[in-house]
C-alpha cells in the first residue's frame, strides 16, 4: 500500500508544477520513473513491487486493454482519410521492415538464445509511444498534419504488433521447453487471435450502436455514457478470456469497432476512459522505475545497450526512410518522421508480460527481455524527451526558409526535396 501512497503523491506533486517542469522536458512519465528509481534502489528500498506473479500479469493485461482501446478510439478519422497514403507507408511498409530489422539485429547480437527470442526482442521494442515526448503533439511549431500522422501511427502500431508479440512469446516458450508450452504454439496463438477479434467485434460494434442510439433518443446522460464507454474495454477483455482468446487484442478491436459510433456521442464522452488509461499508465511508469533499478543491480549484459541504441536509431530510421522514398515529402519531413519513434508504455507492458511468462521456465531469457525493454525505453526517455524540442525548433526554421511548406496537407501538396 505504501507504493500506492508514494506513487500517487509523486503524481500529485508533479501536477502542481507540471507547467514549469515541462520547460525542462520533465513530463509525468519522467517524474514517475525517477520516483520509481529513487524509492526502489538500495538493499532496503522504501517500496518493493513484485511483478512476477499471475495477479501482476492479469493487472498488466487489463491496463494494456484500456490503453489499446483508448488508442483505437483516439485515431482521428480525418487524418486517416487525408494521409492514408503516408500512413500506409508507415504501417504497411515501414512497420514490417522495422520488425525484420529488429529481429536481424537481435539475432546478430544474441546468437545463442535463437531467433525466436530475437523476434520477441523486436516485438517488445518496436511499438511507438509518444509518451516520452508527449508535448510533441501539442507543439505548434510542427504542422498539424505531421502531428496527426504521428498520433495515428503510435495509436495503431502497438495493436498491430500485439499478435506478433503473442506469436513470438509462444515460440520462445516452446523453444525453451516449458512443460506447459503448447505442441503447436503458432496454431494456438492464431486461435487466440481469432477469438480475440470475435470478442472485440461482439462488444465494440453493438456497444457503440446502443450507446449512440440511446444518446440520440435522449434515454441517457453524458456521465452515464462515459461510464458505459469505460465498461467496453473491460467487457471485451473478459469475454475474450472466457473464449480462450487474448484480452488486450479484443479490447483494441472493440475500440476500432466502437469508434465510428463514438462521433455521434456528446463532447468529452471519451474523457473518462482516457483519464483512467492515463492514470493506469502513470502507475506503470512508476513500476518501470523499479525495473530500471533491477536491470542495473543484477547480471547486466552489455550487449543490451547496443541493441537499445540500434533499435532507437538504425532499426527505426532506415525502414521509415525507405518506406517514404517517392512519397513527395521533403528531407526535413522524412527525417523528423523517422527520428520521432519514441518507445514507452507498449514496450513496458509487452516486456513485463514476457518477463512474467518466461521467468518460471527460462529465467535467462526473461532477464534478457526485461533488460532489453528497460534499456530501450530508458534511452528513449532521454533521447526523444530531450531532443524533440530542439528538433521542432530547427524544423520550424527550415520550413520558414523554404516558404512555410506543410507537406501532404489537404490544402497544399508536398514540397520538393529541400536541403
* Residue-by-residue DSSP string for 70-111: HHHHT--HHHHHHTHHHHHIIIIIIHHHHHHHHHHHHHHH-T
In a domain, 16, yes or no: no
Structural domain includes residue 235 = yes
Q: What is the domain count for the chain?
A: 1
Residue 265 is part of a domain; what is its CATH number?
A: 1.20.1530
Residue 416: its pLDDT value, please? 29
pLDDT digit string, tens, across residues 97-119: 999 999 999 999 988 778 899 99
| pLDDT tier at 248, thresholds 50, 70, 90 | confident
- Is 303 within the bounds of a domain? yes
CB atoms near residue 344 (< 10 Å):
27
Helices (H) and strands (E) in the chain, counts: 18, 0
Position 183 scores a pLDDT of 56
Residue 255 lies in a domain: yes
The pLDDT of residue 214 is 93
pLDDT of residue 405: 45
**Across all residues in the chain, what is the average pLDDT?**
81
Enclosing domain of residue 228: 60-129+148-383
Reduce the DSSP state of residue 409 to 3 states and report it.
strand
Question: Does any domain span residue 35?
Answer: no
Q: What is the mean pLDDT of residues 307-332?
A: 91
Split at pLDDT 50, 70, 90, the class of 185 is: low
| Whether the predicted pLDDT of 90 surpasses 70 | yes
Is 208 inside any structural domain? yes
Domain-embedded: residue 211: yes
In angstroms, the CA 21 to CA 156 distance is: 29
Least confident stretch, 39-48, 192-201, 267-276, 297-306: 39-48
CA distance linking residue 388 with residue 244, whole number of Å: 42
Q: Is 132 helix (H, G, I), strand (E, B) or coil?
A: helix
* Residue 94 forms part of a structural domain: yes
Give residue 383's Cα distance to chain centre: 17
Q: Is the pTM of this model over 0.95?
A: no
Give the DSSP per-residue string, 181-213. --SSHHHHHHHHHHHHHHHHHHHHHHHHHHHHH
Amino acid at each position: 500500500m505504501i507504493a500506492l501512497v508514494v506513487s500517487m503523491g509523486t503524481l500529485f506533486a508533479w501536477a502542481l508544477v507540471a507547467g514549469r517542469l515541462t520547460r525542462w522536458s520533465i513530463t509525468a512519465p519522467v517524474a514517475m520513473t525517477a520516483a520509481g528509481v529513487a524509492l526502489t534502489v538500495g538493499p532496503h528500498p522504501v517500496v518493493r513491487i513484485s511483478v512476477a506473479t499471475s495477479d501482476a500479469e492479469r493487472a498488466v493485461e487489463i491496463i494494456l486493454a484500456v490503453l489499446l482501446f483508448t488508442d483505437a478510439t483516439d485515431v482521428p478519422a480525418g487524418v486517416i482519410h487525408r494521409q492514408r497514403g503516408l500512413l500506409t507507408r508507415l504501417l504497411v511498409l515501414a512497420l514490417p521492415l522495422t520488425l525484420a530489422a529488429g529481429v536481424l539485429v537481435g539475432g546478430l547480437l544474441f546468437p545463442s538464445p535463437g531467433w525466436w527470442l530475437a523476434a520477441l526482442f523486436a516485438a517488445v521494442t518496436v511499438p511507438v509511444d509518444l509518451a516520452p515526448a508527449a508535448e510533441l503533439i501539442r507543439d505548434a511549431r510542427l504542422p498539424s498534419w505531421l502531428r496527426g500522422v504521428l498520433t495515428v501511427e503510435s495509436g495503431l502500431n502497438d495493436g498491430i504488433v500485439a499478435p506478433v508479440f503473442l506469436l513470438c512469446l509462444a515460440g520462445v516458450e516452446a523453444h525453451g521447453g516449458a512443460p506447459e508450452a503448447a505442441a503447436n504454439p503458432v496454431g494456438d496463438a492464431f486461435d487466440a487471435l481469432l477469438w480475440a477479434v470475435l470478442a472485440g467485434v461482439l462488444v465494440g460494434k453493438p456497444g457503440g450502436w446502443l450507446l449512440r442510439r440511446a444518446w440520440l433518443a435522449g434515454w441517457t446522460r453524458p456521465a452515464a455514457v462515459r461510464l458505459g464507454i469505460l465498461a467496453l474495454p473491460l467487457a471485451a477483455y473478459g469475454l475474450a478470456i472466457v473464449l480462450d482468446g487474448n484480452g488486450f487484442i479484443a479490447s483494441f478491436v472493440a475500440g476500432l469497432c466502437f469508434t465510428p459510433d463514438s462521433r455521434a456521442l456528446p463532447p468529452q464522452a471519451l474523457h473518462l476512459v482516457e483519464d483512467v488509461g492515463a492514470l493506469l499508465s502513470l502507475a506503470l511508469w512508476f513500476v518501470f522505475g523499479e525495473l530500471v533499478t533491477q536491470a542495473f543491480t543484477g547480471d547486466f549484459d552489455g550487449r543490451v545497450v547496443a541493441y537499445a541504441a540500434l533499435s532507437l536509431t538504425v532499426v527505426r530510421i532506415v525502414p521509415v526512410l525507405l518506406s517514404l522514398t517517392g512519397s513527395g515529402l521533403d528531407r526535413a519531413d522524412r527525417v523528423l518522421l523517422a527520428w520521432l519513434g519514441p518507445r514507452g508504455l507498449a514496450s513496458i507492458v509487452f516486456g513485463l508480460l514476457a518477463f512474467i511468462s518466461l521467468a518460471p521456465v527460462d529465467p535467462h531469457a526473461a532477464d534478457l527481455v526485461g533488460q532489453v525493454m528497460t534499456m530501450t525505453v530508458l534511452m528513449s526517455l532521454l533521447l526523444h524527451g530531450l531532443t524533440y524540442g530542439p528538433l521542432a525548433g530547427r524544423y520550424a526554421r527550415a520550413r520558414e526558409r523554404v516558404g512555410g511548406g506543410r507537406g501532404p496537407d489537404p490544402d497544399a501538396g508536398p514540397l520538393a526535396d529541400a536541403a
